[in-house]
Structure 1
């Protein structure tokens, strides 16, 4: 049991550390009382990843699409980054990411966070599926509980880091550049890592 706990925690850290920077940026942009959207979105995305991985591991279903299809979700952070960049040039007050989440297209911040988590999930599936395959029923339950606890720990650490005066001041000072770069970089990385750019180029050239 102890081995399962530590192994599950290590696996989550290895797969979830990628979310740290984006969570810090999101938490730094939020107003008081909106933090719950980040937590909810992170949990929704993680639960979906765990559920699909478990179903595939148990042979119940084969629900994972081709990697390049998952990579299409990278269009969301890419769009957000470009939108923030353009808004920053037009009106500094609207360059904050919250202005996008208050629009009709992004009314619910937690849905955007959940999509970002899912878009970054290709590596998670490749690790979770064989991991669940090697566990028995009790170990699977323990691992899932550990994953869910680790989600909370990751969100809490990100929130505390975003609340640190030095970090928050730096992000506020350079948010015109930091926020769009983080989102555009994330979207581009997701699409490149999943072979989406290659698939689109191949399709267009065929």
Structure 2
């Protein structure tokens, strides 16, 4: 049992680091309790989808597309980054980062967060699928519980870091330039890591 819990924690931490910067930026923008809730819901929903798909793939019941196909999801953070960059300069209420992310094609903030988590998931599948093949029926519920707890821990740590005055001030000062760079950079990184450009070119 202890080994199962430890390996589940390691597996989650190995894949969750990517989300830390994004969550810090998003939590630093939250002035409403509702927005905070949607960020957490989106993180949970995205992680749950990845978990279920990986588990089904490990059981051989579904097929995960080639890694470069999953890597195409990197286009989403690039799109969001460009959207924030183009509209961020407008001196209106719409220039609020969370308002921009929760408007348009993805009109609910939790959906945007969910899709960002899924866009970063190619590496997750590469770790989770072989990991889940090593689990027996009794270990799977334990891993599910550990993952649920770890998502909460990740969100809590990100929120606490975002609440640090120095970090919050820096994000607020540079948010119009920082957010597009982080999102576009994340999208390009996802596509590079998954060989999208190699296939395309």
TM-score normalised by structure 1 residue count: 0.91
User: Is 1:24 aligned to 2:62, yes or no?
Assistant: no
**Aligned residue number for residue 62 of structure 2:** 61
Q: Is the 8 A contact 1:100 1:106 kept in 2?
A: no
Following TM superposition, by how much is the alpha carbon of 1:92 offset from its aligned partner in structure 2, in angstroms? Answer: 6.9
| Residues 1:39 and 2:9 are matched in the alignment | no
Question: Could you tell me how far apart the structure 1 residues matched to 2:140 and 2:174 are?
Answer: 43
Number of paired residues? 200
The runs of 5 or more residues in structure 2 that have no matched partner are: none
Is the CA contact (8 Å cut-off) linking 2:54 and 2:129 kept in structure 1? yes
Deviations 1:103-128 (A, max 9, x none): 34231111111111111111111111
3-state DSSP class of the match of 1:153?
A: helix
Q: Which segment is superposed worse, 149-158 or 66-75?
A: 66-75
Answering whether residue 79 of structure 2 is matched by residue 73 of structure 1, we say no
> Following TM superposition, where does structure 1 have runs of at least 4 consecutive aligned residues deviating by more than 3 angstroms?
89-95
Asked if the contact 2:74/2:191 (under 8 Å) is kept, the reply is yes
After TM superposition, give the deviation of residue 102 of structure 1 in Å: 4.5
Q: Secondary structure at the match of 1:111?
A: helix
Per-residue Cα deviation, 1:72-126 (whole angstroms, up to 9, x for no partner): 2111111111121122334375433223134342311111111111111111111
- TM-score, normalised relative to structure 2: 0.93
- CA contact under 8 A between 2:88 and 2:97: conserved in structure 1? no
The answer on whether the counterparts of 2:88 and 2:95 sit within 8 Å (CA) in structure 1 is yes
1:124-167 Cα shifts (integer Å, max 9, x gaps): 11111111111111112111110111001001111111111111
2:126 is matched with 126
1:145 aligns with 2:142: no
Note if contact 1:49-1:118 (Cα within 8 Å) is conserved in structure 2: yes
RMSD after superposition: 1.5
For the residue of structure 1 that corresponds to 2:103, the secondary structure is: coil
The answer on 1:85 being equivalent to 2:95 is: no
| Equivalence map 1:139-178=2 (5 Å) | 139-178=139-178
Distance in 2, matches of 1:176 and 1:92, equals 13
Deviation readout 1:48-79 (Å, 9 max, x if unpaired): 111111111112222x1122221221111111
